Amino acid sequence: MIIKNIRKRFYTTTLMALIIASSIMILNPISNASATKTSNCTSSSDPKGIDFVSTVEVWIAAGSGNLDKFTSFSPCTKATSNVGGDPHSIDRTTTTQVSFSEHLGDKITYFDPTTGVQIECAGTAIDGPGDTDNNGSGSQYTTDNFKGTVIKTVKGTSSCTVTVYPVTGTSPKPEGIVMSTDVGGFLVIDQNNKKVWKMTTSGVFTLCKDFSTILGAPQPWYVTANDSQDIFGVTFRDEQKIRYLGTLSCLVAQTSGTAPGQVFQVEIAGDGVDAYVNYQNNAKVSRYDTTTNTFTTDDWNTECLSCFGFGLDSQISTNTYYATMSSGSSANKIVKGSIP
Amino acid sequence: MNNITSGVKMNMNKKFRILIPSVMVVTGILAIVLVSFNTSQQTDAQNVSLGQLANSISEIRPNATVIKDKIDTVENVPLHLVSNSMISNSLQSNGKDPAILLTKSGLAEMTLSEAMTADGQKIISATITNIGKNKFYLKEFAMGGETDTGIGALSSVALDADYSSEAWGTNPKPSMTDLVVLNPGESFSAHIKGNWVVSEINKPITKYGAAALFYYDSDAPEYNEGRNWDLAVTNNK
């Protein structure tokens, strides 16, 4: 009788624990997805920007004046080109045009991987070039945080044309930039005045959203857009949140819960709406699910000890992310994964 | 004795027999409710895409009334303090490496107050006061709000010294577009009034707040390479 009671209580307690555990799991906004990590490869020191072109062509601003071109992540196969300086953000637009912002010499450089020739865009107008995107027709648009401008560069046969567009406002500090056909040009983040601007390809700025009107008025950082879904997402690093806005309305339609770290760069994930994000203070990559408002996270700290994220890109068709991570010293990884 | 003891045991077992299944049933129901709630949230979101939702809602943009002073009442209705903050933030950057967030207490104080008028309209009021030792330039003062689900549909810019009609386009002109100098001890206030419901989804604005951006002269100790300091308050803390 006593054994029977003990057994009954054991089953009852176990069942209760299971029910409670399931309830907690349903409500938990953050979950881990270690099984979704695909591969990791070592790059040159302190990798920063990354640009996914195809599964056999992924470009890295790899540190130590190098650009790495990965042609495979399993096994890890890369070709390194020494271009000098401190490559920051990178954008490969054609087989003969890889552009990157460079922080040591304050330049925007065009590199032709087929010939090794470099064409440099430099001058007093460029000081601290950062995020970069192209207009789909060969022109590159790069934010210059220190100058408060967006710099348009066009590669010539042996030289470069530079056009400077001052961001509207007092002491603007532009950070993220992304091309969007919905807005007829680019979405540009002004971190200092907490605004996101619509900028035409000829440099006309129109106010999209003033983030001073959102609760807590946090600083915006990077931006990603999907014109087919009429949405764009913005990261708020220190608040550890993402917000989604309409490209047509500029209205904040969704605010994420708190992410597991300082959200940094953001890219659209496989369903065209959710977002991959990396973190400036840890070695994680998360997928933010807009439907369930949850973050599912790959933790790469085992593969890249004490690392933090910088560059991020995604292949929407296969829901795959590619991210750069470094510890600022010896640990430098390019990681690949797919979080469902 | 034995009988009594065994009787107590019997009663305890009986209690357990009733208690444990009851707890199980309640927990089970709770779990089912939670699953249903979560599923219904997903279903609602799936019926309308995020893009459709984002682009179908019209922003509510009430005009703000501003004054370079503190206020205790609006239209003779006393205001009740909701929250306050004295923590200002700014980013420090060399323009090349990712910026570092600076926080500083004692530069300014921001208060958020509310009231209800006799005809049932809500008043939200915010005040910034220079509690530091040096004058600063108030360049922006804004108020906003969102629904419980995070749709930020309420937006009112009381002051923006960067305003230009070309750049603002269809965005409403701020109530004030001149830079405001606040010397130590001086205040600036703004308030909005109304009943704010996002009509497209029939959800009220339940969370709201205000924020100010300000900067200092280049010879002031608080000067941060021309970068703004910001100070925000919400009713959601």
Residue B191 covered by a domain: yes
Q: Who's near A136: CB < 8 A, 6+ residues apart?
A: A179
B126 and B13 together in one domain: no
User: pLDDT band for position B17 (50/70/90)?
Assistant: low
- Interface probe, candidates A252, A282, A292, chain B, greatest B C-beta count within 10 A: A252
Walk along chain A (340 residues) in steps of 10 and give the mean pLDDT of each run.
55 55 48 76 92 97 93 96 94 95 93 96 92 94 96 95 97 96 97 97 97 96 97 97 97 96 97 96 97 96 94 97 89 94
DSSP per position, B111-147: EEEEEE-TTS-EEEEEEEEE-SSS-EEEEEEEEEEE-
For chain A, what percentages of helix, strand and coil (3-state, to nearest 5) are there? 10, 50, 40
Q: A267 to chain B nearest CA, in Å?
A: 16
Q: Please tell me the predicted confidence (pLDDT) of residue A4.
A: 54
B118 and B216 together in one domain: yes
Decide if B88 touches A, using CB distance below 8 A.
Answer: no
The answer to whether A172 and A182 have CB atoms below 8 angstroms apart is no
Chain B residue nearest residue A247, CA to CA:
B55
Residue B166 covered by a domain: yes
| B20 → closest Cβ in A12, A243, A280 | A12
Please report, as a single letter, which amino acid is at residue B20.
I
Residue B74 covered by a domain: yes
Beta pairing class for A149-155 and A160-166: antiparallel
Please report, as a single letter, which amino acid is at residue B98.
P
- Interface probe, candidates B228, B234, B237, chain A, greatest A C-beta count within 10 A: B228
Chain B residue nearest residue A292, CA to CA:
B42
Per-residue pLDDT reduced to its tens digit, A105-148: 899 999 999 999 999 999 999 998 999 999 999 899 999 999 99
Contact A168 B236 (CB under 8 A): no
Decide if B132 touches A, using CB distance below 8 A.
Answer: no
Residue for token pair 């490969």: A92
Secondary structure class of A246 (helix, strand, coil): strand
Q: State the angle between helix axes of A2-27 and B2-47 in degrees (0 to 180), rounded to the nearest 10.
A: 20
User: pLDDT band for position B93 (50/70/90)?
Assistant: confident
> B139 to chain A: which residues are within 8 Å by CB?
170
B14 and B106 together in one domain: no
Beta carbon pairs, A and B, within 8 Å? 198
The answer to whether A145 and A219 have CB atoms below 8 angstroms apart is no
B29 and B76 together in one domain: no
The answer to whether A264 and A282 have CB atoms below 8 angstroms apart is no
Residue for token pair 């920063």: A48
> B45 to chain A: which residues are within 8 Å by CB?
290-291
Q: Does the pLDDT of residue B204 top 90, yes or no?
A: yes
Residue B57 covered by a domain: no
Contact A12 B24 (CB under 8 A): yes
Residue B181 covered by a domain: yes
Distance CA A82, CA A85 (A): 9
B187 and B217 together in one domain: yes
Question: How many distinct structural domains can be found in chain B?
Answer: 2
B17 and B129 together in one domain: no
Q: Who's near B47: CB < 8 A, 6+ residues apart?
A: none
> B177 to chain A: which residues are within 8 Å by CB?
none
- Interface probe, candidates B24, B55, B94, chain A, greatest A C-beta count within 10 A: B55
B70 and B26 together in one domain: no
The answer to whether A164 and A111 have CB atoms below 8 angstroms apart is no
Domain span at residue B96 reads 65-234
Distance CA B87, CA B230 (A): 9
Q: Please tell me the predicted confidence (pLDDT) of residue B208.
A: 97
B70 and B125 together in one domain: yes
- Tokens representing A291 are 């439907």
> A5 to chain B: which residues are within 8 Å by CB?
13
Distance CA A44, CA A47 (A): 7
Q: What angle do CA B166, B169, B173 make, to 5 degrees?
A: 90
B180 and B78 together in one domain: yes
B40 and B69 together in one domain: no
> Is the backbone peptide bond immediately before B98 cis, with ω within 30 degrees of 0?
no
Q: Please tell me the predicted confidence (pLDDT) of residue B29.
A: 52
From the list A201, A182, A59, the residue with the least C-alpha distance to A140 is A201
B127 and B217 together in one domain: yes
B87 and B173 together in one domain: yes
Q: Please tell me the predicted confidence (pLDDT) of residue B103.
A: 96
Residue for token pair 């910026």: B99
Question: Model pTM?
Answer: 0.86
